């Protein structure tokens, strides 16, 4: 007999079963397991465990807690597979919203219903004993747990991923995106002219590039004669400092055309930068010098750019939008002037035009009447012929 059942208490049964010999040591592997309920449930569980052993899917019962596994995941897997900035965000979510609630739970006993309870607590208001998180943030927690617990399955620590059966909260879709109206663009540029943030603002509006991409841009990435800017990397800011990194996707590495007015602004910026270097005895800037840099040539931290923008918005009473809104403004201007979604997506560095549509779908709404006009032109000729 490979296994047998014996009563341990009024409603519990002890299972003892044999997994065969350990390939490494040659010793027999005997396992013990406790099941609560009727004897029929214990028999079914024994059958399941033995079948799992035969199929190679058996997971050894363990006292590992969720918190134990999260620590192992953060230490052994995540550092080599996600960026430092992403890992910081993951650790923050796990520390604040997962460990305090289910960290003490046994990993192998974690069920979808436990995660549903977690998501509910995170959304409840603080007055009701919850965390008061927005559904979107709870959705981030869910996707992270799905990824983490997926590795627990892959490493044979659990049989199935409970997050796969748990539903994240529904996020109310919104069409409100921060952008600058055409008249506001002029107001902003007039106010910022002469400040160090002005050239980078100009290029942000002209290319839709992300702040990290702008901060990492080198003069060798800019071809003023061809009026093109190449995005080859990004500057990431973490608690450990700054680092340059490649784009997340192939689409992130791209070439963006710029209009003559922007070329002229960049030429003026280049001359001013060279004059500043010569004034401090630094000499002509090398080819790999940053387009936007501190006076000593070092990178401008992305957070510094964001903070300076917010400061100027406040003290100069500019339109209250974030620096990232310049990217949205660029996209909205292209869409409003009839540019197709594929081209917009390529300029923004989206991995798929679907991403662009998900973010800016409401801006394409004004094309429906044009579509009707096209159909009218086609169909009316056919109907007239019929008459």
Q: Looking at residue 323, what DSSP letter applies?
A: T
What is the span of the domain harbouring residue 194? 183-365
Decide if pLDDT at 237 tops 90. yes
- Between 337 and 222, name the one with better pLDDT: 222
Are residue 324 and residue 205 in the same domain, yes or no?
A: yes
Are residue 122 and residue 23 in the same domain, yes or no?
A: no
pLDDT of residue 66: 96
Phi and psi (nearest 5°) for 300?
A: -85, 120
pLDDT of residue 296: 84
User: Region 200-211: what's the mean pLDDT?
Assistant: 96
Are residue 207 and residue 337 in the same domain, yes or no?
A: yes
Decide if pLDDT at 241 tops 60. yes
Are residue 119 and residue 217 in the same domain, yes or no?
A: no
Q: Looking at residue 386, what DSSP letter applies?
A: H
SS (H, E, C) 134-193: CHHHHHHHHHHHHHHHHHHHHCCCCCCCHHHHCCCCCCCCCCCCCCCCHHHHHHHHHHHC
pLDDT in tens, 176-188: 688 999 899 999 9
pLDDT of residue 178: 87
Distance from C-alpha of 251 to C-alpha of 178, rounded to nearest angstrom = 24
Question: Quick check: helix, strand or coil at residue 247?
Answer: coil
pLDDT of residue 63: 77
- Between 373 and 211, name the one with better pLDDT: 211
Among 121, 136, 165, identify where a domain stops.
Answer: 165
Structure tokens at 356: 């662009």
How many C-beta atoms surround the C-beta of residue 356 within 10 A?
23
Decide if pLDDT at 386 tops 60. no
Decide if pLDDT at 174 tops 60. no
Distance from C-alpha of 157 to C-alpha of 70, rounded to nearest angstrom = 12
- Between 373 and 272, name the one with better pLDDT: 272
Decide if pLDDT at 1 tops 60. no
Question: Is 178 a domain residue?
Answer: no
Q: What is the pTM of this model?
A: 0.74
Distance from C-alpha of 254 to C-alpha of 207, rounded to nearest angstrom = 11
pLDDT of residue 378: 63
Are residue 50 and residue 191 in the same domain, yes or no?
A: no
Place of tokens 């009316």: 380
Question: Quick check: helix, strand or coil at residue 238?
Answer: strand
Q: Nearest 5 degrees, angle CA 173-CA 175-CA 181?
A: 160
pLDDT of residue 369: 63
Question: Is 376 a domain residue?
Answer: no
Q: Nearest 5 degrees, angle CA 305-CA 309-CA 311?
A: 115
Q: Looking at residue 77, what DSSP letter applies?
A: I
Decide if pLDDT at 23 tops 90. no
Which run of H or E residues covers position 363? none
Q: Tell me the β-bridge partners of 229.
A: 222, 256
Distance from C-alpha of 222 to C-alpha of 263, rounded to nearest angstrom = 10
Are residue 197 and residue 322 in the same domain, yes or no?
A: yes
Lowest-pLDDT range of 160-174, 254-268, 312-326: 160-174
Number of domains in the chain: 3
Are residue 244 and residue 329 in the same domain, yes or no?
A: yes
The chain-wide mean pLDDT, for the chain, equals 89
Question: Is 61 a domain residue?
Answer: no
215 falls in which pLDDT band (50, 70, 90)?
A: very high
Are residue 37 and residue 89 in the same domain, yes or no?
A: no
pLDDT in tens, 343-359: 999 999 998 999 898 88
- Between 156 and 144, name the one with better pLDDT: 144
How many C-beta atoms surround the C-beta of residue 2 within 10 A?
13
Question: Is 244 a domain residue?
Answer: yes
- CATH code, 323: 1.10.443.10
Decide if pLDDT at 308 tops 90. yes
Question: Is 120 a domain residue?
Answer: yes
pLDDT of residue 366: 55
Are residue 90 and residue 194 in the same domain, yes or no?
A: no
Decide if pLDDT at 387 tops 60. no
Beta-carbon contacts of residue 97 (< 8 Å; ≥ 6 apart): 122, 131, 133, 137, 138, 141
Place of tokens 């465990």: 49
Are residue 188 and residue 317 in the same domain, yes or no?
A: yes
Among 101, 135, 165, identify where a domain stops.
Answer: 165
Cα dihedral value 288, 292, 294, 295, nearest 10: 80
């Amino acid at each position: 007999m490979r296994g047998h059942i014996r009563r341990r208490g009024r409603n519990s049964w002890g299972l003892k079963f044999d997994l065969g010999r350990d390939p490494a040591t040659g010793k027999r592997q005997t396992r013990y397991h406790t099941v609560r309920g009727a004897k029929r449930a214990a028999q079914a569980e024994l059958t399941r465990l033995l079948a799992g052993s035969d199929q190679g899917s058996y997971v050894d019962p363990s006292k590992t807690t969720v918190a134990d596994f999260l620590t192992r995941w953060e230490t052994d897997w995540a550092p080599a597979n996600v960026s430092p900035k992403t890992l910081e965000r993951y650790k923050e979510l796990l520390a604040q919203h997962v460990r305090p609630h289910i960290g003490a739970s046994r990993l192998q006993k974690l069920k979808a219903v436990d995660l549903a309870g977690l998501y509910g607590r995170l959304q409840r208001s603080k007055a009701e004993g919850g965390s008061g998180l927005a559904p979107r943030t709870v959705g981030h927690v869910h996707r992270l747990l799905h990824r983490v617990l997926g590795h627990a399955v892959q490493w044979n620590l659990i049989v199935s991923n409970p997050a796969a059966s748990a539903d994240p909260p529904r996020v109310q879709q919104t069409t409100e995106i921060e952008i600058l109206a055409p008249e506001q663009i002029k107001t902003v540029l007039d106010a910022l002219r002469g400040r160090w943030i002005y050239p980078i603002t100009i290029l942000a509006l002209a290319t839709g590039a992300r702040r990290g991409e702008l901060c990492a841009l080198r003069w060798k990435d800019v071809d003023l004669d061809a009026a093109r800017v190449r995005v080859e990397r990004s500057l990431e800011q973490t608690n450990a400092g700054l680092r340059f990194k490649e784009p997340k996707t192939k689409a992130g590495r791209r070439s963006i055309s710029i209009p003559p007015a922007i070329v002229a602004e960049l030429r003026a910026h280049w001359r001013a930068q060279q004059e500043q270097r010569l004034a401090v005895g630094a000499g002509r800037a090398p080819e790999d010098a940053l387009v936007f840099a501190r006076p000593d040539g070092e990178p401008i931290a992305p957070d510094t750019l964001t903070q300076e923008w917010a400061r100027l918005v406040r003290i100069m009473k500019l339109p209250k939008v974030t620096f990232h809104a310049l990217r949205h403004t660029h996209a909205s201007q292209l869409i409003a002037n009839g540019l197709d979604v594929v081209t917009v997506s390529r300029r923004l560095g989206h991995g798929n035009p679907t991403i662009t549509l998900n973010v800016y779908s409401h801006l394409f709404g004004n094309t429906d009447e044009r579509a009707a006009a096209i159909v009218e032109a086609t169909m009316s000729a056919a109907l007239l012929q019929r008459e």
